[in-house]
């Protein structure tokens, strides 16, 4: 049996304890399953995990087809190219990595009208890293407005991957800045409810700063090879 069965429950307990301490009603766990085979995802689902995050659209589509019987919730969490918007609109429940307005009409037109709106998080490049996707904090308000205007998209909040600062105190500062951006955005869009931040190495810090969703890969499935 895979490592997942023994890691999922302790991970959940850690998340729930940190959420209680932070006073957050619920912190959702997204299993970041890039590079993991469909069989591993199936085992994780059997252990009770419902939501999975994938970075590469083609890899995700193949696994989704194999796992269609499970009715899982799929999150696109990797950088999105415009030629993959239609696939995301058809095959995912959430897009966590929207970073530019150009993609909004492509997603809107491709989302099948019989489906619920695609849940969208705007990815923010909080530490202004050249290597990282995400919109600049000052571009957030306009991009959020464009998403909110689309009936095929549901604006749910923001997502970010802070720089891997070695010092926990500096990382915590990035998480706190994200929390502040989230609260500001909520003034204009009161229905947003999701602040997706924190991965294997720092999900406890992120929850302490107000994360409502964490995306965890290696702490759940083992190191990626």
Q: What pairs with residue 51 in β-bridges?
A: 73
Residue whose CB is nearest to ligand PLP in the complex, by number: 217
Q: Which two tokens stand for residue 121?
A: 């998080």
Nearer to ligand PLP, 42 or 215 (CB): 215
Residues in contact with ligand PLP by the rule CB under 6 A: 32, 34, 55, 77-78, 161, 199-200, 215-219
Taking the complex as a whole, how short is the minimal distance between the CB of residue 224 and ligand PLP, in angstroms? 7
Nearer to ligand PLP, 26 or 201 (CB): 201
Report yes or no: 97 and 159 within 8 Å, Cβ to Cβ: yes
Taking the complex as a whole, how short is the minimal distance between the CB of residue 221 and ligand PLP, in angstroms? 8
CB count in 10 Å sphere of residue 147 = 25
Taking the complex as a whole, how short is the minimal distance between the CB of residue 39 and ligand PLP, in angstroms? 19
According to DSSP H, which parts of the chain are helical?
4-22, 38-46, 57-66, 85-91, 103-110, 140-148, 168-188, 203-208, 218-221
Taking the complex as a whole, how short is the minimal distance between the CB of residue 35 and ligand PLP, in angstroms? 9
CA of residue 93 relative to chain centroid, distance = 11
Nearer to ligand PLP, 152 or 216 (CB): 216
Calculate the dihedral angle through the C-alpha atoms of 88, 93, 94, 100, rounding to the nearest 10 degrees.
Answer: 30
CB count in 10 Å sphere of residue 72 = 21
Nearer to ligand PLP, 78 or 157 (CB): 78
Nearer to ligand PLP, 114 or 225 (CB): 225
d(CA 13, CA 63): 28
Nearer to ligand PLP, 13 or 201 (CB): 201
Taking the complex as a whole, how short is the minimal distance between the CB of residue 112 and ligand PLP, in angstroms? 25
Taking the complex as a whole, how short is the minimal distance between the CB of residue 190 and ligand PLP, in angstroms? 27
Task: Spell out the residues 6+ positions from residue 14 whose beta carbon is closer than 8 angstroms to its own.
Answer: 203, 204
């Amino acid at each position: 049996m895979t490592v997942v069965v023994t890691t999922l429950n302790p991970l959940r307990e850690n998340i729930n304890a940190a959420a209680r301490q932070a006073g957050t009603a619920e912190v959702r766990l997204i299993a970041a399953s890039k590079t993991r085979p469909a069989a591993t995802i199936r085992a994780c689902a059997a252990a009770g995990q419902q939501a999975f995050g994938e970075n590469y659209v083609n890899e995700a589509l193949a696994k989704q087809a194999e796992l269609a019987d499970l009715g899982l919730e799929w999150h696109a969490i990797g950088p999105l190219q415009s030629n993959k918007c239609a696939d995301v609109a058809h095959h995912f429940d959430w897009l966590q990595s929207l970073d530019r307005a150009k993609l909004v009409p492509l997603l809107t037109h491709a989302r099948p009208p019989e489906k619920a709106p695609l849940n969208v998080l705007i990815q923010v490049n909080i530490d202004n890293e050249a290597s990282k996707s995400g919109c600049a904090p000052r571009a957030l308000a306009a991009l959020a407005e464009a998403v909110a205007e689309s009936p095929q998209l549901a604006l749910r909040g923001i997502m970010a991957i802070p720089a891997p600062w070695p010092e926990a105190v500096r990382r915590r500062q990035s998480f706190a800045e994200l929390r502040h951006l989230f609260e500001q955005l909520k003034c204009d869009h009161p229905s947003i409810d999701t602040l997706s931040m924190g991965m294997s190495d720092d999900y406890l810090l992120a929850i302490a700063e107000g994360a409502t969703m964490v995306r965890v890969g290696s702490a759940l499935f083992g190191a990626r090879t």
